[in-house]
Structure 1
Amino acid sequence: MVELLSLVLVVVASSVSLFMAWIIGAGSAGATPFAPAVGANAISIMRAGLVVGVIAFLGALVQGESVSSAIGTGLIDGVSLSPVAAVVVLLLAGGLMAAGIVTGIPIATAFTVTGAVIGIGVALGGTPAWAKYQEIASVWVLTPFVGGGLAYGLARLLSREWAPESICIPALAASVSAVVANIEFAMLGGETGGQSLARALGASLAPATAHGSLVVTLSFAVVAATLVRLDIHRDEHRAMNRFLLALGSLVAFSAGGSQVGLAVGPLLPLFDTMAIPLFAVLFGGGVGILVGAWMGAPRMIKSLSQDYSSLGPRRAISALIPSFLIAQVAVFLGVPVSFNEIVVSAIIGSGAAITGGAGISRAKILKTLGAWVGSFVLSFSTGYLLFTVVSMAS
């Protein structure tokens, strides 16, 4: 009887986890990255949905470990989520997400899952991981200011006559490529942990790893800048669109690596006891995101692309670059983040650079902020009370 109950819990938890992964793929991870490129007519809606699903899936496999581990074991000290607790977390978070979709309230997945895990962990008798909370709170609070500020600065730069695209866009491509060269990938580190392409290739170029890393980083930057500059000289419009597609791919990859942890993280303590490898868990979450992107993202992309089309390629580029950078910082730190918060902040910043804030609805911003804060508070309090009741009943 006990084994049957455990099996039922595993099936229920896995099903809800896949549902969350599907929603993530159909929403922020699947629709946001390529909406600017669709708005600029750089790629069709259906092709964007197919491509973003595959790229997000790869991001989930390659970079999903950091945030997944933080959600599963890093938010509460002293206890692990029991099978029942994992089910309650996922049902609560999935239920709030579904309610947000029905009502149109922008429920933030990262805030919801994080709040539920902490609330239920405290109800289990765990000790709050204050150091991790400070790290998470810092990223959450700074994201609108850093992302919006970077987007504002980039949009202002790209709108200046003295800063032509033939110079600015290759420079931005070089900067982004340098970051890509230094992203850590778990598959490159082996048993020692993640390692970047710059370190992996640099170690074979020079005895001093730091020096070799610098050579590889500069090589990535120079090659990217040269290719983009040549492309702009051939056809500036198509070059801008192709750069948008490249940025969209990087954002989709980052979204997969970041958001998959929200869907599968609560399951890690449960699956650890069953000796299920992390790769298999990430693979399942990545498949959920992939299917969600293929089935649901095209409709969302069509809706969002109408908003992005009014931005133009320069403002879209200004919004995507900070989104990519912040997402990668969050993955590196193992901090769950809301992609809606990242992208909305960047869009507001790039828009303010051109319109001076005239077209920005302050009431809508306050409503969105209230929904984000409410997502965390509601999930935390509900999780704590719900699991207290469940524990008393059992």
Structure 2
Amino acid sequence: MVATGTLLTFVVAALASLFMAWAIGAGSSGSTPFAAAVGANAISVMRAGFVVGLLGFAGAVLQGANVTQAVGTELIGGVSLTATAAIVGLLTAAILVAIGVFTGYPIATAFTVTGAVVGVGLALGGDPAWAKYRQITTLWVLTPFVGGGIAYGTARLLRSPSVPERYVIAPLGGLVGALVATIEFALLGPSGGAGSIAGTLGTGVPGGTPAVALACALLVTAVLFRGLVTDPEATQRRFLLTLGGLVAFSAGGSQVGLAIGPLVPLLDDLAIPLPAVLAGGGFGLLLGSWTGAPRMIKALAQDYSSLGPRRSIAALIPSFAIAQAAVAFGIPVSFNEIVVSAIIGSGYAAGGSGVSRRKMLYTVLAWIGSLVLALVVAFAAFTLIDAL
């Protein structure tokens, strides 16, 4: 029998989590996936916000478990987060992210949530999880260089007059198809666990999973190549929108963990299944995308770089790959950092035209400041509440 006070406290924590999910949906997960497509005039701002909300919800339900578990149990050692700690951490991070949404600057959600959870965890007397911090820091530091570098190289290749676009875009699409076939989704594995499309279809097939992944890559390559020959403009636009959708799906799988991860230590006592909480977090992301994302989509699409279809494709491919790597390893990652870095990389392939260096500097400072500020505020707030 669950005590009424415990249940009431969990409800308050869940409401804080829902607010966090809304703020994330209105900010990073709701704005960044389709910013490049909007910048390339492939989709309108309002339609992008609507579609990204639905795809983010799907990603949260089908891929959200890894990052959720990491945020809830792996950022601090020796203690489990209490309901009060979860409330303080979530509200601290959500307020900072909401400030970013309404001021037009993309605060890195992963930075704020990670800082806030570590802050309340340390205030509880927990130990720093140094191994996890090294893993997280490595991805955060490498993301701008890897994502931006790949986007830069891809954009340069697409702009080369000596290489027809179809010989570049079609193989890139094949790589994306192979990646989609091999990433894991909930319910596709044995006994309803996680599994990949290639793994499921490869059972009993000669060559197994690699053969199915290769077949998917070749099929996507062939379809794209044919389309780029017969109707290049429409095919390029459809590929761009598909990439935006994949990034939006990946954003849901990663960012939902930032919203509901702090609730994980509370679930066992209340016998609440994780999939139900993932669905609730996904619903919060959806609401945020529908109500607040258009403002940030406009900021990213118009203020950061003047994107065409080629540069948009170059930005979204590494964004999708990095996002899926973070989901697979259970690492909280900022989609603002991923996509903005890729947008900058693709922008510099055209000589840096349209890239606002001044705004980039302010954005990086906001990312670093949000991490430090979230940690300090969350630590101080929980310490004060605990003393009272």
Normalised to the residue count of structure 1, the TM-score between the two structures is: 0.93
Deviation at 1:368, TM superposition (A): 1.7
Structure 2 match to 1:377: 372
How do 1:59-138 residues align onto structure 2 when only pairs under 5 Å count?
59-138=59-138
| Structure 1 residue ranges (4+ consecutive) displaced by more than 4 angstroms after TM superposition | 102-105
Q: Secondary structure in 1 aligned to 2:160?
A: coil
Q: AA paired with 1:248?
A: G
Other structure's SS at 2:249 match: helix
Match of 1:234 among 230, 233, 236: 230
SS at match of 1:32: helix
1:108, 1:340 within 8 Å by CA — same for their partners in 2? yes
CA distance change for structure 1 residues 41 and 106 in 2, over 3 Å: closer, same or farther?
closer
Structure 2 spans left out of the alignment, 5+ residues:
none
Alpha carbons 1:39, 1:308 under 8 Å: kept? no
Give the aligned residue type for 1:382: V
How far does residue 8 in structure 1 lie from its aligned partner after superposition?
A: 3.5
The residue type equivalent to 2:47 in the other structure is R
For the residue of structure 2 that corresponds to 1:199, the secondary structure is helix
Identify which range, 143-152 or 120-129, moves more after superposition.
Answer: 120-129
1:203 aligned counterpart, secondary structure: coil
Q: Is the 8 A contact 1:188 1:195 kept in 2?
A: yes
Give the 5 Å matches for 1:278-289. Answer: 278-289=274-285
Q: Tell me how far apart the structure 2 counterparts of residues 148 and 86 of structure 1 sit (CA, whole Å).
A: 34
Paired amino acid for 2:204: S
For residues 94 and 60 of structure 1, the distance between their equivalents in structure 2, rounded to whole angstroms, comes to: 18
Q: Output the CA distance in 2 between the equivalents of 1:375 and 1:46.
A: 28
Selected match of 2:323 from 307, 320, 327 = 327
Aligned counterparts, 1:207-226, within 5 A: 211-226=207-222
1:246 paired with 2:245, answer no
89-98 or 137-146, larger mean C-alpha shift: 89-98
State the AA in 2 paired with 1:335. I
Aligned partner of 2:382 among 376, 387, 390: 387
What is the identity, as a one-letter code, of the residue corresponding to 1:125?
Answer: G
AA at the equivalent of 1:130 = W
Equivalent residue for 1:263? Answer: 259
Contact 2:305-2:355 within 8 A present in 1 as well: no
Closer/same/farther in 2, CA of residues 372 and 298 from structure 1, 3 Å limit: closer
CA RMSD of aligned residues (A): 2.0
Deviations, residues 85-132 of structure 1 (Å, cap 9, x unaligned): 111111111122233334455422111110111111112121211111
Deviation at 1:290, TM superposition (A): 1.3
- Against the structure 1 CA distance between its residues 91 and 110, is the aligned structure 2 distance closer, same or farther, given a 3 Å change threshold? same
Contact 1:67–1:265 under 8 Å retained in 2: yes
What CA distance in whole angstroms lies between the structure 1 residues aligned with 2:203 and 2:102?
52
1:18-33 correspondence runs (5 A)? 18-33=18-33
1:309: how far off?
Answer: 8.1
Higher mean displacement: 244-253 or 87-96: 87-96
User: What is the CA distance between 1:308 and its match in structure 2?
Assistant: 7.7
Structure 1: unaligned runs, 5 residues or longer: none
- Percent sequence identity is 60
Cα offset for 1:336?
Answer: 0.5
Quote the Cα distance in structure 1 between the aligned partners of 2:17 and 2:101: 17
Within 5 Å, which residues of 2 pair with 1:7-18? 7-18=7-18
Number of residue pairs aligned between Structure 1 and Structure 2: 387
Find the aligned partners of 2:299 and 2:183 in 1 and give their Cα distance: 31
Whether the 8 Å CA contact 1:248–1:320 is kept in 2: the answer is: yes
Which segment is superposed worse, 35-44 or 75-84?
Answer: 35-44
Deviation at 1:271, TM superposition (A): 2.2
Corresponding residue to 1:274 among 266, 270, 274: 270
Match of 1:171 in 2: 171
Equivalent position of 1:197 in the other structure = 197
What is residue 313 of structure 1 aligned with on the other side?
309
Q: 2:51 maps to which residue?
A: 51
CA deviation string 1:194-225 (max 9, x = no partner): 3222222212213xxxx311110111001101
Between the aligned partners of 2:100 and 2:38, the Cα distance in structure 1 is 26
What secondary structure sits across from 1:204 in the alignment? Answer: coil
Instruction: Tell me the distance in 2 between the aligned counterparts of 1:324 and 1:345.
Output: 13
Is the 1:73–1:269 contact (alpha carbons within 8 Å) kept by the matching residues of 2? yes
Distance in 2, Cα, partners of 1:199 & 1:190: 10
Read off the aligned partner of 1:369 and give its amino acid letter.
V
SS of 2:202's partner is: helix
Query: CA offsets per residue over residues 344-375 of structure 1, 9 Å max, x none?
Result: 100111111111x3654444333222211111
Match of 1:262, SS state, is helix
| Cα distance in 2, alignment partners of residues 324 and 155 from structure 1 | 16
Post-superposition CA distance 1:58-102 (Å, at most 9, x none): 000000001110000111122110111111111111122233334
Q: 1:308 to 1:100 in 2, by over 3 A?
A: closer
